[in-house]
Structures are given as C-alpha cells and as structure tokens.
Amino acid sequence: MAPAPRNVEVDYITPRHLAGGGDPAWITVPLNRACGWTYDDDPLMPRVVLTSPDKSAVLRLEPNTDGQWWVLHHIDGTGLPDWYASFGARTPVELIAGFVDALTDPAPPAATSDPFEPLRHHDWEPAQTAPGLAAPDGTAFLQRPGDEHSPGPWFITTTLGHDRPVWQARFGENTPPHLVTAFTTALADPQPVWRANGVLGLPTLDPNIISHRVVTVPAAYVAAALTERAESLSARHNTPPTKASSPGPPTTRTPRRR
C-alpha cells in the first residue's frame, strides 16, 4: 500500500459563493459532536437527519434533484412548524455554517439585526430587475418580497446568467433576523474558501468570474481542520475538548498559481 501523501494541494477560491458545496461533514459533524444534535440515518437511504437537543429544530440532508438538499425546520412551543431554512446542493458549507453556528450559539443574539447590512458593507447595490441587493459581479442576489407590514420569506440566489442557476437559499418569513444576517455575513465575506478535492465541484472555471490559487499544505492540516472547528464550537458550551488542540485550517505557503 502506498504511503499517505505528506502534502496536498488546496484550492483557495473567490468569490466564495461560487466555490461549490464542499464537504457536508463541515456542518453535520460539529452539530453532533459539539452541539449535541442526535442523528438518525438509514444505511439504505442517502440522507442524514439531525435533531437539536431540545427537539426544536430538525435538519435534513437529502439529495433532491428537484429541490433543496439541506432543509431545517424549527418547531414552536406548541409543536407546530415555526420557520424554515433551506439550501441548494451547491450552497458552500461555509455559508451554511454561518447560519447553523448562529442557531446553536448559546450567547443571546444582538438586539437588532439587518440581513442587508453586511452586503451593503461589501458594496452590494440595489438590483435593477427587482427589489433587493445584487453582488458587485452580478452573480448573487438577495430579495425579500412583501413590505414592512407583511414581509415575506428571504431568497438568496446565485446564478451564472439567467439560464444557469447555481444555488438558492430560502428563509421563511419568521426566521429570526440574526440568523439570516449570519448567513449574509458569511456570504459577503471577501476571504476565499478552500477546497481540497480540486476544482471539479466548481460551477464554472471562467477566470473572468472566479479566481483560484493552488497552495501546497501538509495533509495533516486538512485532516485536522474539521476537528478544530468542532472543538472551537464545543468551547462555546464550556464543553472540554476530547483531545488536544489540533492544527488550524490550511495555512498558505508559497502559492503556485494556475
């Protein structure tokens, strides 16, 4: 058997909303290990169901060619659905992580929260075709139909032209604003996201739309990144980590451009 590689190539990709879905474990593993969500899966079905400790939220990950792959339902005190959030298959896990990390944060949210503000701060501007904000490159769009008296659900859509949708995130009208803001904050972040499986999962390789650089890092750093994320989230609950702190996410060395 060939020895495991000591170094691997990691692609750093911008804009992050066009980086592809990434590894679902970035969401599911910390929810289970750090936040106490229980899982229910069927080895004969390609799906994962995670339930929060208080049973108020259920996250389902299920391949769905006709709809959203990630669907979270929140239940109110009477046992009825209160609000929902859903994400398409190619929604980067780093953006979904912004949402679920805010959902599981034991600290109280800020008194006020405006999901549009992180986007405005990063130069998103009013869209020309419909009410909402559009990314500077025109590949992402945030819209909330309705008005102040009867606000509707939130829609964040990423496209490569009118006939090439990439993914969509949807938040029900009763979704707490600070959770939507956590998602838009992650969406607007100009920092690249990394992918260790090459660029095959990217919706486009057009250099006029995305940029990526390849960096060689120790394989151990890539393997340890998920563990470090789970340990960081455990610390919010004052839960002692199960093992010593691991190396952080891949750190850049001398980049080799493509």
pLDDT tens digit sequence for 61-96 = 998 877 899 999 999 888 788 999 999 999 999 999
User: What tens digit of pLDDT does each residue of 18-51 get?
Assistant: 999 999 999 999 999 999 999 987 777 888 999 9
Q: Kindly report which listed range (138-147, 181-190, 236-245, 249-258) carries the lowest average pLDDT score.
A: 249-258
- The position carrying tokens 């493509």 is 258
Distance CA 210, CA 180 (A): 25
User: What tens digit of pLDDT does each residue of 214-238 get?
Assistant: 999 898 888 899 999 999 999 997 6
3-class SS at 72?
strand
Specify the DSSP class assigned to residue 199.
T
| pLDDT given at position 255 | 41
Query: Which residues are 205's β-sheet partners?
Result: none
| pLDDT given at position 43 | 76
pLDDT, averaged across the chain? 87
Of the candidates 153, 138, 139, the residue with the CA atom closest to the CA atom of residue 92: 139
Distance CA 24, CA 31 (A): 11
Alpha helix stretches (DSSP H) within 23-137? 25-33, 93-103, 117-121
Question: What pTM does this model have?
Answer: 0.88
Of the candidates 195, 236, 240, the residue with the CA atom closest to the CA atom of residue 215: 195
3-class SS at 98?
helix
Distance CA 191, CA 202 (A): 17
Over residues 148-177, mean pLDDT: 90
